[in-house]
């Protein structure tokens, strides 16, 4: 590539309007900088050129040093005026469409670049690049936007709330439905309700309650993983973030994807102000509602508001108050009970999990498993898995 070609390509990239955010990402920023340096006469300080080229290649490391893979990922995660209009079913202005088409053609041309076409020197770090028609690729994503999503929701399944920002979970749980033993009927209810959400049918908020270690939280996350390719995402918020529910629902309102808002280990103490906020969301108030989301919460308690004796003696309207507190769980459309397993069920779970881990139960297996449960304070699927792990 001669200096005029480098200068022309650099200016084209710098002029992006629809996909302008890509200019701020390391690979394209470094490529543009390299092209700018390469387009100058030979008197330009030469030592910077190999350093900038090396920085460009280094920025592709996360993508297996594949420039075309990075370009596809960057386009998928781009949150721009074009994709937002398509997602909302709005008419895309002609100027936006023309700019997008032109910029996609320029980006497509970048998939033809090779190390040899960019740079020559004593050592030239290589990168992969496969020709890709990025106009067709982006068109495919737009047609399937309700499954594939856009922005941060394009490349991740699970998210959390960090201050006033929804961010991908650093270590998302990869649990699958196949990893469980027993409790099939409970998970079937969860699956059917989620299928209703995805198909646009009426779906309910769900409370999963029962004994610790029975797989309530894992069932919710396995559901998110099961339907991630169908356009389902999970956003986990802590109990102390319930006041941010309207913000979260507002951020995802109108998004073509479907969302589980997940609240783990939910309970309220006396005079807890966040109680009213959750109540408003569950009742679907106009200030806290999203048609593309459901709330899945877990709790070790059926009545998720703890009662104190003072609730019964001090409140003039104590009967009305207690009724309101105890009925919060009833505002979930579906409640699913996870009870701790009896002895035979627990031992069956332990045996299946042990075999999955390549451990063949010996004659003392059941005795050891029961003793392990007594030491842990009770039987549960979690205890069974811990016992199986201890045998490795």
pLDDT band at 152 (very low <50, low <70, confident <90, very high): very high
Alpha-carbon distance of 272 to 278, in angstroms, equals 11
Report the pLDDT value the prediction gives residue 281, as an integer from 0 to 100.
81
pLDDT band at 326 (very low <50, low <70, confident <90, very high): low
Alpha-carbon distance of 61 to 158, in angstroms, equals 24
Report the pLDDT value the prediction gives residue 270, as an integer from 0 to 100.
60
pLDDT band at 120 (very low <50, low <70, confident <90, very high): confident
Report the pLDDT value the prediction gives residue 336, as an integer from 0 to 100.
93
Residue 327 pLDDT greater than 90, yes or no: no
Report the pLDDT value the prediction gives residue 319, as an integer from 0 to 100.
53
CA trace torsion 98, 102, 103, 107 (10° rounding): 150
pLDDT band at 219 (very low <50, low <70, confident <90, very high): very high
The mean pLDDT of 210-239, rounded to a whole number, is 96
DSSP code of 228?
G
Q: How many degrees, rounded to 5, is the angle at CA 285 between CA 283 and CA 290? A: 95
Higher pLDDT, 307 or 241: 241
Report the pLDDT value the prediction gives residue 323, as an integer from 0 to 100.
53
Task: Tell me the pTM.
Answer: 0.87
Report the pLDDT value the prediction gives residue 46, as an integer from 0 to 100.
56
Residue 355 pLDDT greater than 80, yes or no: yes
pLDDT band at 285 (very low <50, low <70, confident <90, very high): low
Helix or strand holding residue 353 (H, E): helix 343-356
Residue 224 pLDDT greater than 60, yes or no: yes
Q: Annotate 258-286 with b (16+ C-beta within 10 A) or e (fewer).
A: bbbbbbbebebeeebebbebbebbbeeee
Q: pLDDT over 70 for what percent of the chain?
A: 88
Report the pLDDT value the prediction gives residue 3, as an integer from 0 to 100.
85
What average pLDDT does the structure give for the chain?
Answer: 89
C-beta atoms surrounding 316 within 10 Å: 7
Report the pLDDT value the prediction gives residue 304, as an integer from 0 to 100.
60
Residue 142 pLDDT greater than 90, yes or no: yes
Quote helix, strand, coil % in the chain, to nearest 5.
Answer: 55, 10, 35
């Amino acid at each position: 590539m001669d200096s005029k070609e480098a200068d022309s390509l650099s200016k084209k990239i710098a002029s992006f309007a629809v996909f302008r955010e890509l200019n701020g990402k390391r690979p394209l920023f470094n490529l543009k900088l390299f092209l700018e340096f390469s387009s100058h006469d030979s008197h330009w300080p030469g030592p910077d050129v190999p350093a900038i080229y090396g920085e460009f290649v280094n920025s592709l490391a996360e993508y297996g040093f594949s420039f075309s893979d990075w370009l596809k990922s960057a386009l998928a995660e781009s949150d721009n005026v074009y994709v937002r209009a398509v997602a909302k079913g709005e008419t895309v202005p002609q100027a936006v469409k023309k700019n997008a088409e032109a910029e996609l053609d320029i980006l497509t041309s970048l998939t033809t670049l090779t190390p040899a076409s960019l740079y020559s020197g004593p050592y030239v770090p290589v990168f992969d690049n496969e020709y890709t028609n990025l106009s067709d690729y982006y068109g495919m994503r737009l047609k399937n936007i309700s499954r594939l999503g856009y922005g941060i929701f394009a490349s991740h399944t699970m998210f959390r709330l960090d201050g006033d920002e929804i961010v991908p979970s650093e270590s998302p749980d990869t649990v699958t439905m196949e990893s469980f033993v027993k409790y099939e009927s409970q998970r079937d209810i969860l699956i059917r309700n989620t299928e209703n959400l995805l198909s646009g049918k009426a779906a309910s908020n769900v409370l999963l309650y029962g004994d610790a270690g029975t797989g309530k939280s894992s069932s919710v996350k396995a559901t998110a993983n099961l339907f991630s390719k169908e356009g389902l995402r999970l956003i986990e918020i802590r109990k102390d973030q319930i006041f941010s529910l309207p913000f979260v629902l507002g951020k995802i309102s109108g998004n073509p994807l479907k969302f589980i808002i997940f609240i783990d280990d939910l309970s309220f103490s006396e005079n807890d102000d966040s109680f009213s906020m959750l109540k408003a969301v569950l009742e679907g108030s106009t200030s806290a509602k999203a048609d593309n989301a459901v709330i899945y919460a877990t709790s070790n308690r059926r009545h998720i508001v703890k009662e104190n004796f003072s609730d019964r003696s001090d409140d003039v309207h104590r009967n009305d108050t207690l009724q309101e507190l105890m009925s919060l769980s009833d505002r979930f459309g579906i409640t699913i009970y996870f009870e701790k397993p009896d002895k035979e069920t627990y031992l069956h779970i332990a045996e299946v999990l042990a075999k999955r881990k390549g451990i063949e139960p010996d004659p003392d297996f059941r005795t050891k498993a029961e003793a392990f449960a007594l030491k842990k304070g009770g039987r549960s699927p979690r205890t069974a898995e811990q016992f199986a792990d201890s045998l490795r």
